Structure 1
Amino acid sequence: MISNILDEDLLSKDEIVERLKTALINKTPYCLVRIGDGENFVLSQDSVYTMEQTLGQLWVKEANKGRKGVRFPNIPVRDQLVEAIREADIVGILAKNDKVIRAHPNHKRVLTNRIFNHFELMPQAVCNAIVNRELIYHKPFWEMLHEQNSRVVLVSRWAGGTKQRLIRPPYHLQVPFTLPFERNEMMADTLDILEQRKDEYDIVLCSCGINAVILAHQIKKRIGKIGVDFGIGSQIISSVKI
């Protein structure tokens, strides 16, 4: 059971980098997804919460104002998240006493445990869900992408600005193209483009909230590439010095 997983059981940053490196070298389809409070609320619909309970959450009310890239009720997106978690190579979950994500403790790891038990989800490997924030400051991650000559695609509302940072020192990355992404309705067109241009890239960093979980999974399953749920990483990378 996921509730038995200790914080020390979570993969380290270096272990994640090594696994991504292996996938890049072997051209193996791969994905890393992360589950935070927003994903928890999507997954809670008609499962561990009644729909009424889910719709009453402040985060969900904000989502229904168009601020989270997905609207509720949304059972199809819930089911896509369940499939993504079930088939992901690495699943990020919040540490038991996480202090980074600003959400009520009942909406973090406690809720994830309940949801995973409900859907009988037991990830192949787990890491800390805040790994995206950690990798930004983790020099070996960027060095690995550079040394492998990895062609990196960015999918995000901030993709264009992030590209301008990553193609310059100290990153020196190859970014053949970027795609904007703001809401779930853009999923089909985004995946179509990524499939049509699959020979132009090796790995995709997805920074589009809950939608990044679905996107990273489909990049692996449908397109046969490497998808990483990079969360807020794309938004803050321009201000980071490594």
Structure 2
Amino acid sequence: MIIDHKANSKGSSTKNLLKVTLIDLIFKNVYSLDVKEVEKKGIFGKKTVKKIYLKEGKNFNLPLKPHEEVFRKYLPRKANSKRLRKLQQRVYRAYGSKYAKKKLLEPLSSEGYFTVEKKFSGRKYSLSDKGIKTQQMILKLKNEGKDLENWVETDPEKAKAYFLMGGSNIFLTDDYYFDWFKNNSKKIAALFIGVAIVGVAYRFSNIRWYSAFSRRSHDIDFDDFDDFGSFDDNSFNDIFSDSDIFDTFDSMDFDDF
């Protein structure tokens, strides 16, 4: 929203925003995915199918932002294989194309990232000084990671430091990286098995993405190297070592029945 709020406020972007938010909640262990192979009886005999179970994660009670909270509000109680699909449907039905404005743009404006000007045709949103500063920070961090693909092969400690700095915001870079993560998930998972970081994180700007968008986002100090706290090495190892989870991410489409 901060990089391009006009494009992301359109209804056509809603499904992608919902998808990214849900993936983020899974990465932060607010939710967890369990992919199981089960036998299913049919007319022509038995066959093995994969069923996806969405479960409450260890950080389920973590304080959430408005655009995240809707996924807890509409969570079906019954934890069966239809739970993930039902959650997507419920959230999409509740907000549809209004999700971006109501749960992202307006809350960010109230926190000072946008200025709002009343026009005859409606409200006009523009980045404030705080928003511009944040936008520049995000673009800088994205640019610093432009060689991430090569670092996985040539400088694994630097790659790991960048992953930990960005957390699941890594998935906000672009579509190319999401596909690349999926195709190289085993290599990435290997980074988080017994690989130490010794001061490598400080090669990057000493700003964590999560610090900028934490719950205390009022009066942000951009020199704060505060850790978000819900990430550790296992968060990345658990996700990247299970290619079935990436297939699940691909299947998230938020189509409303």
TM-score by length of 2: 0.26
Q: Which has the higher contact order (CA 8 A, sep 6+)?
A: 1
TM-score by length of 1: 0.27
Q: Flag the structure with larger Rg.
A: 2
